[in-house]
Chain A
């Protein structure tokens, strides 16, 4: 085995790219759950974002519009979820699962005419001389804009939830919707907006897969990334910076296992292939074992429907 073949700087740069889709989807879902809504349709919203973003980018020739299209696609699908759970009071778990199935089917239908097409390329951010710095330049200054945007979204969500009035209101709605309602906050409206934000982020994450990471459209392209994003929200105990950590951990192990295979590591391949999921599950179990902090971090009203009876 030749571990010297693995260049750590390149590995870190790769894991940053691999983590973007799950990170965007997870931070969106974090906001949704902070508002007290459990949307299990992340996978469906991601793949809708992947195809809508792809169609938008191909038809307009602009990757930027592609990412907007992806966000719109994801938000559009989440609107169905919002209508069903917030207005019609449907069970959130069942609706979320149905949303995933629906998104997978619909994306396949929309994508019929877009198979085998190359989308317009997204360039890297020109940092000029910064990109030439040894090691640091490779890790930090040679990425496409979305890598930086995903970190910026994490920072923004962290700041909003922690320091702004809007964040306080979102958290209040997620912790005790009756109390928030009594104070005069529009619980349903706030939750619908949170769901739309979550959908837009998941859609953007999906668009990243079809526009940059692969880049092409095929059925089922997200291949379960949405479920990983859901797990990461729990592992992060609903804390934004831990979402970044979790996404980098999962993305990192995914990239690392392929690199270890290529380097001829003396570990059975089956274990390497399983490792990202195993380690994510393991960390989840360890985090949730702690009845004190981890378990109590969940928003108290998570998954409970709200109906203004007074």
Chain B
């Protein structure tokens, strides 16, 4: 008797919880997030998770959230997305470039679920939006600090993959470092990973051993800063997150991806029923790219200069890619005063003049 009661109540409980989930989905909006790394990576994924927390804080009881970490970019992502769509998610944020095809494939099967894909360009069905941040605006500010602070006139850049986003960053860094320091040269090392702490540390080490005293990274872990901390006089920058645990040096400033306002806005639109497909590419002006506190390791003049540059980018009076600029092979790209268009930037596949080395094809 006991056992039967137990089983019945268990079955009842299960049924109730399932029904409850469905009922809850009616009055609560469910926002779900797919992450490429661990939320404790201290960089990229950590920052997206801050956005999730901001959504919870903004809507309280009106939303419930769910997330999945360390989702590989590939077939697994499609399974995770399908699972989420089936579990009552109303809006799903897929937060890495490599989730692009999986996002569009799953979105086609679930027309009632809203999908938001970060840093991608495919919007195959009306329920897929894309959003991105103009990281290169932050890179321009970091490049200015790097050009002013370097004593060896060698700055190093750890690239992940040779995709347009990373190439924009290298170019923006170099253009602005050279603007304040004509003698500067940039050394680029490709790690071929978004996230491999040991390899990122090794790359930083190789650069430092070759006389680089400013490290910029386009990878997701804090390992390059940990490596820079071992050598006095070497500085670096927080990437994606503030990476404040390395203040005041080696981390002298940072580029912070602030996804929170966008996430709050989009989840709010789902709650209000006003969600529509769109493509967002905001920067310092829109608050998506923030410049982390510039520490006292940087002189006051340089700090003022960097802040003034950030302000001019923010109010639209200055674009980091303003001519005259030439491509690496010496051919003309932008005439005096001309500004790069978004299409060129989104497909950027060339270095600007003065950078040595080839982009891997």
Contact = CB atoms under 8 A, between A and B. Distances in A.
Interface of A: 5-7, 10-11, 14, 18, 108, 112, 115-116, 118, 209, 213-216, 218-219, 221-223, 225, 254-255, 258-259, 261-264, 268-270, 273
Nearest to B192: A273
19 contacts: A6-B210, A14-B206, A14-B209, A108-B70, A115-B40, A116-B40, A116-B222, A214-B201, A216-B197, A216-B223, A216-B226, A218-B197, A223-B196, A225-B198, A259-B209, A259-B210, A261-B188, A264-B356, A268-B358
A115 B196 CA distance: 14
A14 B206 CA distance: 9
Interface in B170-195: 187-190, 192, 195
A224 B207 CA distance: 23
Interface string B150-163: 00000010000000
Contact of B202 (A10, A219, A221, A254): A254
B212 A255 contact: no
Contacts of A255: 202, 205-206
B245 interface: yes
A10 B231 CA distance: 14
B38 interface: yes
Interface in B194-225: 195-199, 201-203, 205-207, 209-212, 221-223
A10 B209 contact: yes
Nearest to B203: A258
B42 A268 contact: no
Contact of A262 (B70, B199, B210): B210
B38 to A, nearest CB: 5
Contacts of B222: 116, 216
A219 B190 CA distance: 21
- B37, B188, B210 interface centre (most CB from chain A within 10 Å): B210
A115 B245 CA distance: 13
B215 to A, nearest CB: 11
Given A261-B189, A261-B190, A18 B202 contact: yes
A112 B209 CA distance: 33
Contacts of B357: 261, 264
A216 B46 CA distance: 15
Given A225-B198, A259-B209, 18 more contacts: A112-B40, A115-B40, A116-B46, A116-B245, A209-B198, A213-B198, A213-B201, A214-B226, A216-B42, A216-B222, A218-B197, A219-B38, A221-B197, A221-B198, A222-B198, A259-B210, A261-B206, A268-B360
A263 B199 CA distance: 17
Interface residues of B, number: 38
Nearest to A7: B209
A255 B199 CA distance: 10
B56 interface: no
B293 interface: no
A262 B245 contact: no
B212 A215 contact: no
B64 interface: no
A301 B108 CA distance: 56
B41 interface: yes
A214 B210 CA distance: 19
Given A115-B42, A116-B42, A223-B196, A216 B206 contact: no
A184 B245 CA distance: 59
A261 B40 CA distance: 30
A94 to B, nearest CB: 23
A17 to B, nearest CB: 8
A5 B211 contact: yes
Contacts of A118: 226, 245
A86 B188 CA distance: 50
Given A262-B189, A269-B190, A11 B209 contact: yes
